[in-house]
Amino acid sequence: MVETVVTHVGMTPQSVHQFGGFRRQGTTPETAEHILQEAIALQQAGAFAIILEHIPDDLAHPITQKLPIPTIGIGTGAHCDGQVLLTADLLSLSSWQPPVAKSYMDLKSYVDLKGAIAQAVQTYSQEVRNHQFSPA
């Protein structure tokens, strides 16, 4: 049996209180280097992919270039190998919009919900494919 592990660095939501709130991580040279080394160590330990959350694009980009495994961005800019955006955030369904989540529509303001949802998802997909995606 082959096991695959996807790891997570940067802003890890389960540690939000340890970070003093939902704040961008890796913003100083020291913390950026720590996240880079953590990502390298996780890849060397056998990670299949790494989620990079709420770190600066100028940190996500070199991590993505350095690692042979895929990086998945959550609020990190356009330079990761893939992107994640929760549907609830894409459609502004939550009572709180995280700073890493770009909203493409306010679901409550549309009469044609099916068409509006399809348009929001299409716009998001085009931005990711064209490397134009940026967090909120």
**d(C-alpha 10, C-alpha 107), whole Å:** 30
**d(C-alpha 78, C-alpha 10), whole Å:** 16
Instruction: State the catalytic residue, choosing from 3, 33, 38, 53.
Output: 53
What angle separates helix 29-44 from helix 57-66, to the nearest 10 degrees?
Answer: 30
**Active site (annotated) includes residue 53:** yes
**d(C-alpha 136, C-alpha 118), whole Å:** 20
CB 84, CB 73: distance < 8 Å: yes
Active site amino acids: 53
